């Protein structure tokens, strides 16, 4: 009997894993299961080009539409894995079907956190995760003049930019002191706030939402400080929750996602207080849902970005085929907001005293974050080449010369002293 | 065979660099890698960034915006988010000019 591999999640991580299994020679049965009724696609355009009507959905497909059938990948779309019986090695689907697996990849991603205030159920209150969500926001945009965005993480900030670029008035409410605060910190967060302000986005930081009001349909947002903001619709971007309910009762550690080792393997055993993957269990995880041990960071991390979904999906596939190469890519992501191309790599341990190369005022700079003289992370605005060049330094945990690192006339790579 | 168009002066692209030359509304990038010239569409197929702002890694160009990677011999996507390849063109230096063979 040829082996059956099941992938829960027909998205960038799951789809890339399926494609990699085939390109690496897996010739068993391959079942890709996804809740959305569409072939695997990538989500970055949903808040940007697709939302603004500049690119068709087909551009977001991770492989051409006919790829999956040609590669004999059984796509079970419009249903999800609701439960795993790890003893019988069975995935139980929402439509009642049961698929037996030899190896299982959890790539179920995230769901959006809901806004827990009165009126959150009103018509015209939207969030963004799927292409259907993006289409619903586009429908709201038609004929609207003003939107309120609740939350200014990356989704909120990118949607704010896209709506503004589409000619809408935009106000944003964010409880933290700056946009994308957790990922970019206070200093660069304030640069991003200034970029939005320049483009006419009105922002309320340190502010919460008390209620959404309207007769059936949202008409205004009431903030914690009592301000009432009239609007035609609302987009909520207040964070996400990893989708792990299908593993309830299985016994694999669930802690901020599915806990996996550096080979993307889930497993119950402990080692140095860290769960260690059990290859015999046959359960793997990749992408947004995977809280993975990262050798470079030195602890478990979970990241919600495009590059990790793709690279870790591929790494999990190789691991499922028995490869023993650990996943240690330098985490990297981008966000495009107005004319700012923001990129970040690595993990920042302290926001204090980054080495700055370039001109913050001119919005062309890179900030390098050091820990005991070694470069661990970088964030760049409109400075992609410098960011690209420092990836190898981050990966090597290189000791760097801060003076050379700050000098725009010196190649970033030449700042390494080890 | 397409027509060779003079886009600039011979020697205007130093080794290890990428320069952009407008041909009508079309932006053509020319790179020199270890002495060899490559000509290709400057506009990344992903988010329309200028590939000349990117990085050469051998005969590969890495887009500065989102790290899309293209093979300069074939135009193929090697990594990253671009959905489509870029067009690549024959290029030579003759009579003091940089000549790119553009479509028929």
| pLDDT one-digit tens code per residue, A243-293 | 999 999 998 989 999 999 999 999 875 555 455 677 788 999 999 999 999
SS3 (DSSP) at A5 = strand
- Smallest CA–CA separation between B55 and chain A, in Å? 6
Residues of B in contact with A389 (CB under 8 A): 55
Chain B's closest residue to A63, CA to CA, is B83
**pLDDT tens digits, one per residue of B64-100:** 999 999 999 999 999 999 999 999 999 999 999 999 9
Bridge partner residues of A220 (DSSP) = A213, A230
Q: Are A128 and A155 in contact (CB under 8 A)?
A: yes
Residues near A273 by Cβ (< 8 Å), separated by ≥ 6?
none
Structure tokens at A14: 């799951």
The DSSP annotation for A204-258 comes to EET--EEEEE-SSB--EEEETTS-EEE-SEEEE---EEE--GGGTTT-S-BSSSE
Residues of A in contact with B67 (CB under 8 A): 307, 332, 384, 388
* Residues of A (29-88) whose Cβ lies below 8 Å from B: 42, 44, 49, 59
**pLDDT tens digits, one per residue of B16-28:** 999 999 998 899 9
Residues of B in contact with A43 (CB under 8 A): none
Query: How many CB contacts within 8 angstroms connect chain A with chain B?
Result: 32
Segments of chain A with pLDDT less than 70: 269-276
Q: Are A107 and A289 in contact (CB under 8 A)?
A: yes
Structure tokens at A292: 């993975």
Beta carbons of B65 and A384 less than 8 Å apart: yes
Q: What is the pLDDT of residue B2?
A: 79
From B53, B62, B66, residue closest to A334, measured CB to CB: B66
Rg of chain A (C-alpha set): 22
Mutate to test the interface with B, among A310, A311, A385 (most CBs of B within 10 A): A385
**pLDDT tens digits, one per residue of A143-158:** 999 999 999 999 999 9
Residues of B in contact with A42 (CB under 8 A): 81
Beta carbons of B47 and A336 less than 8 Å apart: yes
Beta carbons of B47 and A332 less than 8 Å apart: no
Contacts 24+ apart (CB under 8 A), A274-279: A274/A300
Of the candidates A290, A243, A246, A242, the residue with the CA atom closest to the CA atom of residue A84: A246
Q: Is some CB atom of chain B closer than 8 A to the CB atom of A397? A: no
Residues of B in contact with A307 (CB under 8 A): 67
How many whole angstroms separate alpha carbon A412 and alpha carbon A176?
32
How many whole angstroms separate alpha carbon A150 and alpha carbon A238?
7
SS3 (DSSP) at A387 = helix
- Smallest CA–CA separation between A113 and chain B, in Å? 27
Residues of A in contact with B63 (CB under 8 A): 384
Mutate to test the interface with B, among A40, A41, A341, A342 (most CBs of B within 10 A): A341
Beta carbons of A388 and B83 less than 8 Å apart: no
How many whole angstroms separate alpha carbon A18 and alpha carbon A5?
9
How many whole angstroms separate alpha carbon A82 and alpha carbon A95?
9
Residues of A in contact with B47 (CB under 8 A): 49, 336
Interface of B with A (CB under 8 A): 47, 49, 53-55, 62-67, 81, 83
3-class DSSP string for chain B: CCEEEEEEECCCCCCCCEEEEEECCEEEEEEEECCEEEEEECECCCCCCEHHHCEECCCEEECCCCCCEEECCCCCEEECCCCCCCCEECEEEECCEEEEEECC
Rounded to 5 degrees, φ, ψ at A18 are -60, -45
Q: What is the pLDDT of residue A275?
A: 55
Beta carbons of B53 and A384 less than 8 Å apart: yes
Chain A's closest residue to B54, CA to CA, is A385
Chain A's closest residue to B52, CA to CA, is A385
Residues of A in contact with B65 (CB under 8 A): 334, 336, 341, 384
Predicted TM-score (pTM) above 0.80: yes
Structure tokens at A42: 């990538």
CA angle A33/A36/A42 to nearest 5° reads 95
Rg of chain B (C-alpha set): 13
Of the candidates A1, A3, A5, A73, the residue with the CA atom closest to the CA atom of residue A316: A5
Q: What is the pLDDT of residue A272?
A: 52
Mutate to test the interface with B, among A39, A336, A384 (most CBs of B within 10 A): A384
How many whole angstroms separate alpha carbon B67 and alpha carbon A205?
32
Q: What is the ipTM of this complex?
A: 0.87
DSSP state of A22: H
């Amino acid at each position: 009997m040829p082996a059956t591999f099941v992938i829960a999640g027909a998205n960038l991580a799951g789809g890339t894993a399926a494609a990699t299994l085939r390109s690496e020679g897996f010739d068993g049965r391959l079942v890709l299961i996804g809740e959305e009724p569409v072939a695997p696609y990538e989500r970055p355009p949903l808040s940007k080009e697709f939302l603004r009507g500049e690119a068709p959905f087909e551009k977001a497909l991770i492989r051409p539409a006919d790829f999956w059938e040609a590669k004999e990948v059984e796509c079970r779309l419009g249903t999800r894995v609701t439960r795993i019986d790890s003893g019988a090695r069975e995935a139980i689907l929402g439509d009642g079907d049961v698929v037996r697996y030899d190896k299982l990849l959890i790539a179920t991603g995230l769901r959006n956190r809901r806004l827990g205030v009165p009126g959150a159920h009103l018509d015209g209150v939207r969030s963004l995760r799927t292409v259907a969500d993006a289409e619903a926001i586009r429908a709201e945009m038609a004929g609207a003049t003003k939107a309120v965005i609740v939350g200014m993480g990356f989704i909120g900030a990118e949607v704010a930019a896209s709506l503004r670029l589409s000619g809408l008035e935009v106000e944003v409410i964010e409880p933290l002191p700056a946009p994308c605060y957790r990922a970019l910190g206070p200093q660069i967060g304030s640069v991003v706030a200034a970029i939005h302000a320049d483009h006419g986005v009105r922002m309320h930081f340190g502010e919460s939402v008390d209620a959404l009001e309207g007769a059936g349909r949202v008409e205004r947002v009431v903030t914690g400080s009592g301000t009432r903001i009239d609007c035609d619709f609302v987009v909520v971007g207040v964070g996400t929750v990893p989708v792990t309910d299908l593993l309830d009762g299985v016994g694999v550690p669930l802690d901020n996602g599915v806990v996996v080792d550096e080979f993307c393997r889930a497993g119950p055993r402990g080692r140095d207080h860290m769960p260690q993957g059990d290859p015999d269990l046959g359960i793997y995880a990749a992408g947004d849902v995977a809280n993975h041990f990262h050798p470079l960071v030195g602890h478990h991390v979970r990241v919600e970005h495009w590059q990790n979904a793709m690279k870790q999906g591929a790494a999990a596939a190789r691991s499922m085929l028995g490869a023993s190469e650990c996943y240690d890519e330098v985490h990297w992501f981008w966000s495009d907001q107005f004319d700012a191309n923001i990129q970040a790599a690595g993990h920042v341990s302290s926001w204090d005293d980054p080495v700055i190369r370039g001109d913050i005022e001119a919005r062309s700079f890179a900030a390098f974050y050091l820990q005991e003289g070694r470069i661990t992370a970088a964030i760049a605005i409109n400075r992609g080449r410098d960011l690209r060049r420092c990836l190898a330094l981050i990966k090597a945990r290189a000791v760097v010369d801060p003076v050379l690192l700050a000098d725009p006339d010196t190649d970033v790579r030449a700042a390494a002293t080890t | 065979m397409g027509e060779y168009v003079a886009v600039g002066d011979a020697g205007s692209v130093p080794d290890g660099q990428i320069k952009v030359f407008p041909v009508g509304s079309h932006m053509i990038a020319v790179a020199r890698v270890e002495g060899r010239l490559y000509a290709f569409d400057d506009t990344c197929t992903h988010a329309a960034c200028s590939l000349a702002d990117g990085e050469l890694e051998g005969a590969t160009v890495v887009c500065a915006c989102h790290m899309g990677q293209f093979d300069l011999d074939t135009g193929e996507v090697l990594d990253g988010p671009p959905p489509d390849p870029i067009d690549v063109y024959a290029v030579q230096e003759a009579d003091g000019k940089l000549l790119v063979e553009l479509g028929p």
